[in-house]
Amino acid sequence: MTDLLLRGGTVVLPGVFGVRGDVAIEDGRIAAIAPEHPGPAREEVDASGLHVLPGAIDAHVHFNEPGRTEWEGWASGTAALAAGGATACVEMPLNAHPPTVDAAALDEKVAAAERAAVVDFALWGGLVPGDLDRLDELAGRGVVGFKAFMCDTGIDDFEAASDEVLGAGMERAAALGLPVAVHAERPQRLTPLEGGDWRAWAASRPVAAELEAIDRALELAEATGCSLHVVHVSTGAGVARVAEARARGVDATCETCPHYLVLAEEDMERLGTAAKCAPPLRPAAERDALWEHLAGGRIALVASDHSPCPPHMKAGDFAGAWGGIAGAQAGLQLLLDEGHHRRRLALAPLAALVTQAPAARFRLPKGRLEPGADADLALVALDDEHVLRAEDLHDRHRANPFAGRTLRGRVVRTLLRGRTVFHDGRVAPEARGRLLVPDRPRGAP
């Protein structure tokens, strides 16, 4: 018998705005999508007036646990994701301690996540100077790929990768059939801060630093045959470079973040250090260029780069404050508000940027709304206008720069494998999240 029947929602299928129908769920999976399911079911939920989307997958979050749980933790971080319609994430190897650079550290992180995660999770391993055999260990434990920093990370337990380290790491990653993700800013192009205001921060990390780093990473990817993913690209020219390389056969993709899509550098004046991130927010023309690339299919996916810290580390001026934005809860709703309602992008391809696309890029068995798939779903009131209030945030410190913003499109309910994990403003605290590992890499032994 059907466990749960979602009645009369508008089901958003790939390439389709939405078809009215019922979604039947059995044993945590989608059993059927039908115009009118005969039932019966143990439970029915009236989804009329709501859009049914695949649960979002946030491919770039930092949850800091173990080791820096006072910054963020798996319980609070994944609660924020669930409240924002996400049912899975891919978590980064740095800002927790120990950093996820070998099997022992990865095991510690998996244990912490399994104790507390409300949604499913996959993990990035770290590519740092040192023994490359650690990449094999991490691959054996199921990481989706390896993350490297081309400049200083701002945290002393995760070292930047020189070109030499990056090249050698890419060679090994290519042999393992896994991608390398890079934070692309060329250290030689970063300049010392001249002052503590937002203009000084923006000036110290120019567009050229991003573009040069992307060029270098693309050269290395081409030379090694490694699959490359450039995280949080902040400029139109950065996206264009990745797209050009892709067109000539380099296996390269990029992501951008909601903050680069809805904020611009002058917003730092109003928002203060809550909007400090690296690369920094850019002039409005870059934001518009990113939207053009997004509409043109040149940005593979959108991810939050949720990177919180305790409030005292966000206090003070732009010189001293932590450079991360806490956006885990807002991603999907910001895309719906700005992308669908304001910029008139079609709903299905827009939603795909946070559902099918990250799943496909990192070979995760998620993001599909079809019979047989996990019943990971977000129910959205697409036209609902509401204010994202700080008190409605679930991340540890509620330092989200989007708090106070009026958003059209609200996540009403989130289901993970058929169970409601978020509804009516409340997150079910049970730790049901599971480790996701990528499908077997191509060419893996």
255 or 376: whose CB is closer to Zn ion? 255
Give the separation between CA 165 and CA 319, rounded to whole angstroms. Answer: 29
Report the 3 state secondary structure along 340-376: HHHCCCCHHHHHHCCCHHHHHHCCCCCCCCCCCCECC
What's the angle, vertex CA 388, arms to CA 197 and CA 120, rounded to 5? 100
Which amino acid is present at 188? Q
DSSP β-ladder status, 377-387 and 406-416: antiparallel
- Cβ nearer to Zn ion, comparing 24 with 257: 257
Segment contacting Zn ion by CB under 5 A, of 297-305, 315-323, 350-358, 368-376: 297-305
Q: How far apart are CA 343 and CA 328, in angstroms?
A: 22
The CA distance from 120 to 105, in Å, is: 19
What residues numbered 133-162 form the site for Zn ion, per CB under 5 A? none
Name, in order, each residue with C-beta under 8 angstroms of 385's C-beta and a sequence gap of 6 or more. Answer: 406, 407, 408
Cβ nearer to Zn ion, comparing 305 with 337: 305
**Smallest gap from residue 60 Cβ to Zn ion (A):** 6
Residues whose CB is less than 8 angstroms from the CB of residue 304 and which lie 6 or more positions away in sequence, other chains included: 58, 60, 61, 257, 258, 325, 327, 328, 330, 331
Number of H helices, E strands in the chain: 14, 18
CA distance between the termini of the chain? 42
Provide CB contacts within 8 A for 363, sequence distance 6+. Answer: 144, 438, 439, 441
Residue 327 beta carbon to Zn ion: minimum distance, rounded to whole angstroms: 11
Least gap, CB of 152 to Zn ion (angstroms): 14
Considering only 137-145, 241-249, 266-274, 298-306, which stretch makes contact with Zn ion by CB under 5 A?
298-306
- Smallest gap from Cβ 52 to Zn ion, in A, equals 30
Among the listed residues 205, 203, 200, the one whose alpha carbon sits nearest the alpha carbon of residue 238: 205
- Choose between 37 and 186: whose C-beta lies nearer to Zn ion: 186
Considering beta carbons, is residue 72 or 305 the nearer one to Zn ion?
305
Of 277, 324, 369, nearest to 57 (Cα)? 369
Determine how β-strand 125-126 pairs with β-strand 146-149. parallel
Q: Which stretch binds Zn ion (CB under 5 A): 69-77, 221-229, 266-274, 303-311?
A: 303-311
Instruction: For the CB of residue 380, give the shortest distance to Zn ion in the complex, in Å.
Output: 26
Smallest separation (angstroms) from Zn ion to the CB of 252: 18
Of the candidates 335, 340, 412, which has an alpha carbon nearest to the alpha carbon of residue 379? 412
Considering only residues 40 through 99, tell me which ones interact with Zn ion, judged by CB under 5 A: none
Contact between 102 and Zn ion by CB under 5 A: the answer reads: no
Residue showing the smallest CB distance to Zn ion in the complex: 305
Nearer to Zn ion, 155 or 381 (CB): 155
Q: Of 94 and 403, which has the nearer Cβ to Zn ion?
A: 94
Residue number with CB closer to Zn ion (305 or 376): 305
Burial class for 416, CB neighbours closer than 10 Å (0-12, 13-18, 19+)? buried
- Whose Cβ is closer to Zn ion: residue 282's or residue 410's? 282
CB of 61 to Zn ion, least distance (A): 8
Q: Which is nearer to Zn ion, 321 or 421 (CB)?
A: 321
How far is CA 289 from each of CA 104, 231, 234, 297, 383, rounded to the nearest angstrom?
42, 17, 10, 12, 26
Q: What is the total count of residues that contact Zn ion (CB under 5 A)? A: 1
With CB under 5 A as the contact rule, which of the stretches 2-10, 112-120, 126-134, 300-308 interacts with Zn ion? 300-308
Query: Among 150, 72, 76, 65, which Cα is nearest to 105's?
Result: 65
Instruction: Quote the least distance from Cβ 241 to Zn ion, whole Å.
Output: 20
CB of 307 to Zn ion, least distance (A): 5
Interacting stretch for Zn ion, rule CB under 5 A, among 17-25, 188-196, 213-221, 304-312? 304-312
- Whose tokens are 């928002």? That residue is 271
- Which stretch, 5-13, 79-87, 305-313, 432-440, contacts Zn ion (CB under 5 A)? 305-313
Q: Which of 305, 337, 374, 376 binds Zn ion (CB under 5 A)?
A: 305
| Residues at the interface with Zn ion (CB under 5 A) | 305
